[in-house]
Amino acid sequence: MGRVTVRRPVRKLTPNGDRRRLDTLAAEEPLEIRISGTPLAVTMRTPGHDVELAHGFLLSEGVIGAKDDVTLARYCDSVDDTGRNTYNVLDLTLADGVPMPDVGVQRNFYTTSSCGVCGKAALDAVRLKSRFAPGDSTFTISPTVLSTLPDALRQQQRVFAATGGLHAAALFTSDGTLLAVREDVGRHNAVDKLLGWALLANRVPARDTGLLLSGRASFELVQKAAMAGISLIAAVSAPSSLAVELAEDNGMTLVGFLRGESMNVYTGNGIE
């Protein structure tokens, strides 16, 4: 699995005693995203699908809305102590006519939970920035089909199976087909990688797909889905209160506690 996982010695304690063995850990490294050489953001991620991650991040920030909005993505020289390129700095070039994003404090004002912005301001920010209204979608799925998706997702979580340490996200169709699955130590990175895949595959706005989350549904993840035009989100765990408000405000269907044939539908009419 290369840089996606790391092997480390561990002391394992059990009722039968203790022993030392090697354990497989999910890799976590910083990725700096630059625009034409200007640093924009740093995220701690699992290496892999970095170009997708950067495209998805820019999409969810409202910087780009189509594949052609980025003309070049390349790794910069960033070497470790051995002189090898770490591939931890990615520089993107925007197409002519695509405005440079604001790299100041306000650029990310509605996507973090620590920014101190009130809920109403955060909801309004997403509505104003989104190019693709999720409420325009007619996407629906049956509860029978939806109930099969968590197991289907787990079967494709290859790195999670080896480490137990990654979040996953998937895009799915109304017949239950998983179009793409991405894993990462950060749930927001997993979604950004997935949205980047959709953008590069010319599937944005993604109104004909739903978003499946292996964990909880936070405001940030619903915001990212809304920015891509996704109208239905299904999470294995609970949503937050602001995530429910945002989904309702944008005409989205939000499902939580998707476990077997049981689920909670918090907003929307996409479950038929």
Q: What is the pLDDT of residues 222-250, one digit of tens each?
A: 999 999 999 999 999 999 999 999 999 99
Question: Are residues 55 and 227 in contact, defined by beta-carbon separation less than 8 angstroms?
Answer: no
Is 115 a catalytic site residue? Answer: yes
Domain with CATH 3.40.140.10 in the chain: 132-265
Residue 136 pLDDT? 81
Domain with CATH 3.10.20.10 in the chain: 27-123
Residue 137 pLDDT? 87
Answer yes or no: is pLDDT of 201 > 80. yes
- Mean pLDDT taken over the chain: 89
Answer yes or no: is pLDDT of 111 > 50. no
Question: Are residues 270 and 139 in contact, defined by beta-carbon separation less than 8 angstroms?
Answer: yes
pLDDT band at 209 (very low <50, low <70, confident <90, very high): very high
pLDDT band at 122 (very low <50, low <70, confident <90, very high): low
| CATH number listed for the domain at residues 132-265 | 3.40.140.10
Average pLDDT (21-30) is 90
Question: Are residues 152 and 175 in contact, defined by beta-carbon separation less than 8 angstroms?
Answer: no
Residue 1 pLDDT? 43
Residue 2 pLDDT? 52
Answer yes or no: is pLDDT of 12 > 70. yes
Residue 127 pLDDT? 64
Rounded Cα gap, residues 222 and 203, in angstroms: 18
Answer yes or no: is pLDDT of 78 > 80. no
Answer yes or no: is pLDDT of 47 > 90. yes
pLDDT band at 157 (very low <50, low <70, confident <90, very high): confident
More confident residue, 117 or 141: 141
Q: CATH number for 27-123: choose from 3.10.20.10, 3.20.20.120, 3.20.20.80, 3.40.718.10.
A: 3.10.20.10
Report the share of the chain in percent with pLDDT over 90: 73
Catalytic residue among 79, 100, 115, 121: 115
Phi-psi region at 3: left, alpha or beta (left = phi > 0; alpha = psi -120 to 50): alpha
- Alpha-carbon distances of 120 from 61, 66, 117, 249, 260, rounded to whole Å: 18, 28, 8, 11, 34
Where is average pLDDT lowest: 14-28, 33-47, 140-154, 155-169? 155-169
